């Protein structure tokens, strides 16, 4: 019976800048990697391995960063989060963090109601441009998104093949909020060797009717699946999925860029 199965790899150690992440994954996987599996890697370990970490002590906030952080001046955001109704997206009250967010952003889409929704230089629309202070390497550092998550995915794929002889697909993921729904779902920032978007538009269904809007974000669904296979505090950044072989390709392919909605299609302009 066809099925999809996802399990987290145990034994990935704390990742540091310069680490050979693919080697850590290969070691944790032992002999269980197989052709056609999808290896889903939380971006944070990719960012750490690539040194995408900012020391806040080196950041000089601009006037705009101070202004955007200003709404939160005097609040204790952390204790505020621990009681009552926390904000829907975590805002940054530290002007230095806001400056990092600005540095990572091509555009601030919305700065209102305790929210900084940004379009990153990659084209991702997400809270705080993906800048994250949790699970960072220290109190005065933040982790940013990888500079080029597609290249990260391709690099991990190639190195895993080199180390193990196995051809998997690789996704690099993060948890994003949604415009119209509560909660976060993991999505693919980078993708190598997998069809990210399965386009059924124009095909017909079992009754011969056109499937007009069936356009599946396969890589995002795989990212969401992977997130279910780990506990958020378990330190399990890598999940292996079986059963998606039909979406795995020999070539690295166009990657997760297919999932980006171009500016000219933005429904809110």
Q: Please tell me whether residue 30 binds its own copies under the rule CB under 8 A.
A: no
CA-to-CA distance for 64 and 262, rounded, in angstroms?
27
Distance CA 178, CA 175 (A): 10
Number of residues binding to its own copies, judged by CB under 8 A: 84
Write out the two tokens for 221.
């669904």
Contact status: 143 vs its own copies (CB under 8 A)? no
Torsion of the alpha carbons at 30, 52, 231 and 255, rounded to the nearest 10: -70
Long-range residue pairs from 86-92, CB within 8 A, at least 24 positions apart, any chain: 87/113, 87/114, 87/115, 88/113, 88/114, 88/115, 88/177, 88/182, 89/114, 89/115, 89/116, 89/117, 89/127, 89/128, 89/177, 90/127, 90/128, 91/115, 91/116, 91/128, 92/116, 92/128, 92/131, 92/133
**How far apart are CB 75 and its own copies at their closest, in Å?**
13
Interacting positions 229-258 with its own copies (CB under 8 A): 229, 232-233, 235, 243-244, 258
Quick check: 60 binds its own copies (CB under 8 A)?
A: no
Per the CB < 8 A criterion, the answer to whether 170 and 39 are in contact is yes
Q: Looking at 13, 67, 212, 254, which residue binds its own copies (CB under 8 A)?
A: 212
69 is written with which tokens?
Answer: 């952080």
By CB under 8 A, name the one of 78, 165, 250, 251 that touches its own copies: 78
Of the ranges 53-61, 95-103, 128-136, 143-151, which one interacts with its own copies (CB under 8 A)? 128-136
Please report whether residue 90 would count as binding its own copies according to CB under 8 A. Answer: yes
Part of the chain binding its own copies (CB under 8 A), chosen from 18-26, 55-63, 96-104, 221-229: 221-229
Sole binder of its own copies in the list 58, 134, 165, 251 (CB under 8 A)? 134
Stretch that binds its own copies, among 47-55, 100-108, 143-151, 209-217 (CB under 8 A): 209-217
Part of the chain binding its own copies (CB under 8 A), chosen from 2-10, 21-29, 67-75, 149-157:
2-10
Residues 133/121, Cβ–Cβ less than 8 Å: no
User: How far apart are CB 199 and its own copies at their closest, in Å?
Assistant: 8
How large is the C-alpha radius of gyration of the chain? 19
User: x/- contact string, 153-182, with its own copies (CB under 8 A)?
Assistant: ----------------------x-xxxxxx
């Amino acid at each position: 019976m066809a099925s999809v199965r996802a399990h987290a790899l145990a034994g990935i150690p704390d990742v540091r800048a310069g680490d050979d992440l693919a080697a850590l994954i290969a070691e944790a996987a032992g002999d269980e990697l197989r052709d056609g599996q999808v290896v889903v890697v939380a971006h944070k370990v990719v960012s750490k391995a690539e040194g995408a970490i900012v020391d806040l002590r080196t950041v000089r906030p601009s006037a705009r960063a101070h202004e955007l952080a200003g709404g939160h001046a005097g609040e204790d955001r952390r204790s505020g989060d621990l009681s009552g109704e926390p904000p829907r997206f975590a805002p940054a009250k530290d002007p230095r963090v806001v400056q990092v967010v600005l540095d990572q952003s091509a555009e601030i889409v919305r700065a209102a109601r305790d929210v900084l929704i940004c379009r990153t230089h990659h084209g991702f629309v997400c809270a705080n441009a993906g800048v994250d202070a949790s699970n960072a390497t220290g109190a005065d550092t933040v982790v940013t998104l990888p500079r080029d998550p597609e290249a990260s995915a391709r690099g991990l794929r190639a190195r895993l093949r080199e180390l193990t002889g196995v051809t998997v697909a690789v996704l690099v993921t993060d948890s994003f909020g949604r415009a119209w729904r509560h909660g976060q779902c993991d999505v693919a920032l980078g993708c190598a060797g997998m069809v990210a978007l399965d386009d059924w538009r124009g095909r017909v269904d079992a009754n011969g009717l056109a499937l007009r809007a069936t356009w599946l974000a396969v890589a995002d669904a795989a990212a969401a699946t992977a997130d279910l296979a780990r506990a958020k505090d378990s330190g399990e950044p890598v999940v292996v999925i079986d059963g998606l072989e039909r979406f795995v390709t020999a070539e690295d392919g166009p990657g997760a860029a297919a999932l980006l909605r171009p500016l000219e299609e933005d429904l809110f302009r």
